[in-house]
């Protein structure tokens, strides 16, 4: 699809989205309600960051005391794997894996790894050490520790050891109580980062985040909200929200993905602009239905402008491969090289 400006693209596809049909008649020239193009400058990021955080529903106290209990440690495939359980939110325990290189004593760069969805509700953090069918054969815990990183992965709500209720039931129960499932998931990631940077073997000035699919979205939001994240790698979920509406593929993303009133305040470019001028690598598949190519064009163009304005155009990069929702060998190499260069 050729590159189109946002409003031109939306104008041609608004009827297909049909978002206002249930409320009032829609004329042939109607457009989707597009938020004003504000917030893409790194210069007002503090206020916009607070605005984004406020959209995540009723969250626990950001300053509540954290508790952490180590459950064990074992050697696994050339690295050490620690098992932890955290009290991050005061509502339910959060199990986690921490992988670190053997023999490491000095402070090292650290990665908060964000696991994917893929319908694997019983998998969660095990993806970090076991991999997934749509990822490269070598699990990320092995790849990161071989590269010298300390890396943490938690089970998110509804996944792994936290798979007590369905995603849909959890979303609905939280909504009734003024909470937003995605907001609670992001909150847990923020608090996990709070714990990670306190470790004696972690250099808090050299912290990054990465993930694929749902983990890609988490990496984007975590970095947007927390300036301690110096490098971000998002794999196969750089989705432009209005393009997704236009192509009528909201079903492609789980219900966790949807934040009430988000589009009244932010576009996908707005969210990702909050990462600038810190390093950000996006990796996408040209045949991935979750990230329509027209939307990738929009985000790439708009973030290119943001990073240029910030004086660091080299810190934003979007790589596209001719694959569906799949991590590639080339993408894995690029991701590790990007982290090495920026951490």
Between 102-106, 131-135, 266-270, 330-334, the lowest mean confidence (pLDDT) is in: 102-106
- CB distance 270 to 305 below 8 Å: no
Where is pLDDT greater, at 69 or 246?
A: 69
Cα angle value 304/306/311 (rounded, 5°) = 95
Tokens describing residue 229: 């994240």
- For every residue of 133-196, DSSP letters joined together read TTS-SS-HHHHHHHTT-EEEEEPPTTSGGG-SS-HHHHHHHHHHTTB-HHHHHHHHHHHHHHHH
CB 169 within 8 A of CB 130: no
* Structure-token pair, residue 221: 């939001």
Residue 323's Cβ-count burial label (10 Å; 0-12, 13-18, 19+) is middle
Q: What are the residues facing 283 on neighbouring strands?
A: 235, 319
Each residue's pLDDT tens digit, 196-243 = 999 999 999 999 999 999 999 999 999 999 999 999 999 999 999 989
Compute CA 128 distance to the chain's CA centroid, rounded to the nearest angstrom: 15
What confidence tier does 18 reach under pLDDT thresholds 50, 70, 90? Answer: very low
Q: How far is residue 73's CA from residue 70's CA, in Å, rounded to a whole number?
A: 8
Model pLDDT, residue 42: 65
Task: Count other Cβ atoms within 10 Å, centred on residue 3.
Answer: 12
pLDDT score of 264: 87
Percent of the chain with pLDDT over 90: 84
Instruction: Beginning with the edge strand found earlier in the chain, give each strand of the sheet holding 279-285 in spatial order.
Output: 67-76, 79-87, 94-101, 150-154, 108-114, 202-212, 229-235, 279-285, 316-321
pLDDT at 19 over 80: no
pLDDT for the residue numbered 21:
36
| pLDDT greater than 60 at residue 7 | no
pLDDT tens column, 274-330 = 999 999 999 999 999 999 999 999 999 999 999 999 999 999 999 999 999 999 999
Please state at what angle helix 293-309 crosses helix 6-17, rounded to 10 degrees: 150
Domain 6-342 in this protein, CATH class? alpha beta
How much is the pTM? 0.90
């Amino acid at each position: 699809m050729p590159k189109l400006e946002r409003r031109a693209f939306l104008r041609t596809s608004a009827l297909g989205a049909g978002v206002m049909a249930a409320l009032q008649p829609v004329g042939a020239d109607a457009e989707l309600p597009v938020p004003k193009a504000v917030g893409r400058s790194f210069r007002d990021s503090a206020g916009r960051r607070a605005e984004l955080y406020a959209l995540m529903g009723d969250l626990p106290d950001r300053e509540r005391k954290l508790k952490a209990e180590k459950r064990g440690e074992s050697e696994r495939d050339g690295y050490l794997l620690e098992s932890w359980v955290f009290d991050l939110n005061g509502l339910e325990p959060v199990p986690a894996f921490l992988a670190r290189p053997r023999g490491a004593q000095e402070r090292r760069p650290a990665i908060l790894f964000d696991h994917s969805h893929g319908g694997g509700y019983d998998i969660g953090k095990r993806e970090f050490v076991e991999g997934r069918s749509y990822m490269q054969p070598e699990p990320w815990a092995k790849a990161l520790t071989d590269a010298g990183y300390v890396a943490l992965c938690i089970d998110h709500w509804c996944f792994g050891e936290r798979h007590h209720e369905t995603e849909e039931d959890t979303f609905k129960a939280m909504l009734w109580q003024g909470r937003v499932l995605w907001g609670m998931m992001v909150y847990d990631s923020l608090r996990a980062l709070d714990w990670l940077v306190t470790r004696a073997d972690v250099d808090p000035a050299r912290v990054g985040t990465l993930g694929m699919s749902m983990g890609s979205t988490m990496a984007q939001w975590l970095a947007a909200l927390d300036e301690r994240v110096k490098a971000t790698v998002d794999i196969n979920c750089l989705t432009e929200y209005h393009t997704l509406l236009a192509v009528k593929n909201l079903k492609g993303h789980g219900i966790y993905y949807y934040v009430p009133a988000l589009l009244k305040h932010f576009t996908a470019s707005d969210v990702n602009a909050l990462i600038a001028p810190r390093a950000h690598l996006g990796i996408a598949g040209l045949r991935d239905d979750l990230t329509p190519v027209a939307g990738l064009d929009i985000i790439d163009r708009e973030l290119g402008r943001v990073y240029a304005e910030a004086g660091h155009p080299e810190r934003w990069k979007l790589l596209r491969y001719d694959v569906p929702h799949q991590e590639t060998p080339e993408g894995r190499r690029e991701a590790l090289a990007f982290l090495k260069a920026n951490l």
